Amino acid sequence: MNKILVVDDEQSMRDFLAIMLKKEGYEVAAAANGKDALKAMQSEIFDLVITDARMPDIDGIEVLRTVKDVSPETVVIMITAYATTETAVEAMKLGAYDYITKPFKVDEIKLIIQKALEKHHLRKENILLRREIESRAGFDNFIGKSEPMQRVFSLIRQVADTKSTVMISGESGTGKELVARAIHFNSARKDKPFVTVNCGALPETLLESELFGYMKGAFTGAVSNRQGLFEAANGGTIFLDEISATTPALQIKLLRVIQEREFMRVGGTADIKVDVRVIAASNKDILGEVARGAFREDLYYRLNVLPVSLPPLRERKDDIPVLVEFFLNKFSSGRGPKKIDPEAMKRLLEHRWPGNVRELENTVERLVILASGDTIHPELLPETMQGAGSPCTELLPSEIPDTGIDMEALLENAEKILLQKALEKSGGVKTEAAKLLGLTFRSFRHRLRKYDFSRGEA
């Protein structure tokens, strides 16, 4: 529950704000003057302080200064019946969130308080998440407060300090390498090498020599003996990204090194033993690849001892505001802070993000570059987020990803949106809405019941 301190020497205003805020569900403390307010600050941490600007002895400006000194994360809103430009400017310079003149509208101050607390908690969550991830893995791009990501974090903790192989699945851009790094840096191997190999980026012959090394003269260009990446990762972890891109011939060699912990260099005659933990990843349905004979079943089961499945961004929308805030801070360096207009944020939340977090990061970077002021407005968003398309086309992916789609869910969502749009256009008259969709009234009513619609009259 949010804790708010109300500071005002006028009892009627103090009582009014306290009663109003308690009705809104906040925990409220009140102080009759600046001295009492400072005393309260010494024993309690408040999320928000609402203080009158003009009070005897210790005024609101002094309260603001002390709050920002004692508790920098606490948000301060100043109110006054005697507004002056100088006081307002000074308050904002000292870090006040807003400066409100009495008399004010109740709905107005409620909204300001809500927005102030939202910003406060978003900042707090971002700091906590970054600290949590840094303590786990030593990097800060891996952010998520949503339930699906919390499950992933929990799984990382469970699987990290084991020797077993891990198979990470998820669409492109969901952060598979970040998960692999998190597992490594939370394990007993964290002080040993972490080696990444993109199996899809190299042809088979070159990938084999990269993984296992080669002896001089093994092939044209092999002018000296070279250590492979499995040797380089000895004692640590090797991350085989896009493992499904490997050929059956190479898969046999990978199976051997995982089972026997030994391999032979290209052109070599001696077995080389290594202690390497293998983490693999793919954006394809590996079981599907096994079924069609493109991936060895025995290798799949060797890799899939500890499976980790990463949710796409569209299934963890709660993380979007936190990620946007993080990327804004990341890309706004040297350009000043940037804010997202509420409508722009709404469209970011509605977008399906086929490219997942990577697409979101690239989008925010583009927005920061294009924004001329402090606020990013909807017109700066890519065309796909401008809302020009129909409800159905906006919901459909531009292409089917390798991991496939849930067609039933897509069609169901499109149907619900069309029903809603038809009801809105017909003013809630169901018979008219049915005509707009080319349905009989009976069919239309059946669909409404299916989705538990209750609005509108026949």
Residue 91 in tokens: 């308050």
Residue 156 resides in a domain: yes
Coil/strand/helix, residue 277: strand
CATH code of residue 431: 1.10.10
CATH number of residue 269's parent domain: 3.40.50.300
Helix (H) or strand (E) holding 132: helix 106-137
Within-domain flag for 179: yes
Tokens of 322: 């936190």
Q: Which of 388, 397, 389 is nearest to 313 (CA)?
A: 397
Q: Distance between CA 55 and CA 9 in Å, rounded?
A: 6
Rounded (5°) CA angle 307-310-314 = 155
How many whole angstroms separate alpha carbon 323 and alpha carbon 245? 30
* Boundary (domain end) residue, out of 309, 331, 366: 309
**Furthest-apart CA atoms within the chain: distance in Å:** 91
State how many domains the chain has. Answer: 4
Strand ranges for 209-334 from DSSP E: 213-214, 226-227, 237-241, 262-264, 271-273, 277-282, 306-309
Question: Does 69 share its domain with 96?
Answer: yes
- Residue 427 is predicted with a pLDDT of 73
237, part of any domain? yes
Q: Are residues 296 and 317 in the same domain?
A: no
- Long-range contacts of residues 201-204, Cβ cutoff 8 Å, at least 24 apart: 201/242, 204/246, 204/247, 204/249, 204/250
Say if residues 269 and 251 touch (Cβ distance below 8 Å).
no
Convert the pLDDT of each residue in 94-133 to its tens digit.
Answer: 888 998 888 888 898 999 999 998 887 777 556 545 544 4
What is the length of the chain? 458
- Do residues 233 and 327 both lie within one domain? no
Taking the CB of residue 370, how many other CB atoms lie within 10 A of it? 11
Q: Which of 395, 415, 430 is the last residue of a domain?
A: 395
Question: If you ran DSSP here, which 8-state letter would residue 312 be given?
Answer: P
pLDDT in tens, the chain (458 residues): 688 999 999 999 999 999 999 999 999 999 999 899 988 887 677 889 999 988 888 888 999 998 888 788 889 999 988 767 788 888 888 888 998 888 888 898 999 999 998 887 777 556 545 544 444 443 344 677 888 888 998 899 899 989 899 999 999 889 899 999 999 988 999 888 899 999 988 888 899 999 999 888 888 888 777 888 998 898 999 999 999 999 999 999 999 999 999 999 998 888 889 999 999 999 888 888 999 899 999 999 999 999 999 999 999 999 999 999 888 888 887 666 578 889 999 999 989 888 899 899 999 988 888 888 888 888 888 877 876 444 444 456 656 766 667 777 778 778 888 888 888 788 778 888 888 888 888 888 888 887 766 544 44
Same domain, yes or no: 208 and 105: no
Say what the pLDDT of residue 395 is. Answer: 55
Strand partners, 1: none
- The pLDDT tens digits of the residues spanning 17-31 come to 999 999 999 999 999
Specify the pLDDT at position 240.
96
Separation in Å, CA 231 to CA 18, 84, 209, 365: 67, 71, 12, 38
Q: For residue 310, give the DSSP letter.
A: P
With beta carbons less than 8 A apart as the criterion, state whether 423 and 453 touch.
yes
Range of the domain at 420: 407-450
DSSP 77: E
Evaluate whether residue 435 is within a structural domain.
yes
Q: In whole angstroms, how far apart are CA 51 and each of 98, 174, 297, 413, 444?
A: 11, 44, 67, 47, 55
Please list the residues that pair with 100 across neighbouring strands: 79
Q: Say if 164 falls within a structural domain.
A: yes
Examine the domain organization and report whether 220 and 299 are in the same domain: yes
Q: Is the dihedral of CA 256, 258, 261, 264 positive or negative?
A: positive
Shared domain for 278 and 423, answered yes or no, is no
Domain end position, chosen among 356, 373, 395:
395
CATH of the domain at 390: 1.10.8.60
CATH number at residue 62: 3.40.50.2300
- Token couple for 184: 């490594």
The DSSP 8-state label assigned to residue 313 in this structure reads G
Nearest to 134 by CA among 182, 189, 176, 168: 182
317 with 289, same domain? no
- d(CA 196, CA 200) in angstroms, rounded, equals 12
Q: Examine residue 330 and state whether it is found in any structural domain, yes or no.
A: yes
- 366 and 236 fall within a common domain: no
Please check whether residues 349 and 421 belong to one and the same domain.
Answer: no
Burial, 435: exposed, middle or buried (Cβ in 10 Å; 0-12, 13-18, 19+)?
Answer: middle
User: Is residue 236 domain-shared with residue 296, that is, in the same domain?
Assistant: yes
- pLDDT, residue 421, reads 81
Cβ pair 401, 283 in contact under 8 A: yes
Domain contains 52: yes
Same domain, 159 and 88: no
Residue 231 placed within a domain: yes
**Distance (Å, rounded) from C-alpha 131 to C-alpha 354?**
28
Asked if residue 304 and residue 176 are part of one domain, the reply reads yes
Residues 231/272, Cβ–Cβ less than 8 Å: yes
Residue 83: predicted pLDDT: 67
What is the predicted pLDDT for the residue at 92? 87
Whether this model's pTM surpasses 0.75: no
Residues 39 and 70: beta-carbon distance below 8 Å:
no
Q: Decide: 205 and 267 in contact? Cβ < 8 Å.
A: no
Q: What are phi and psi for residue 198, nearest 5 degrees?
A: -95, 100
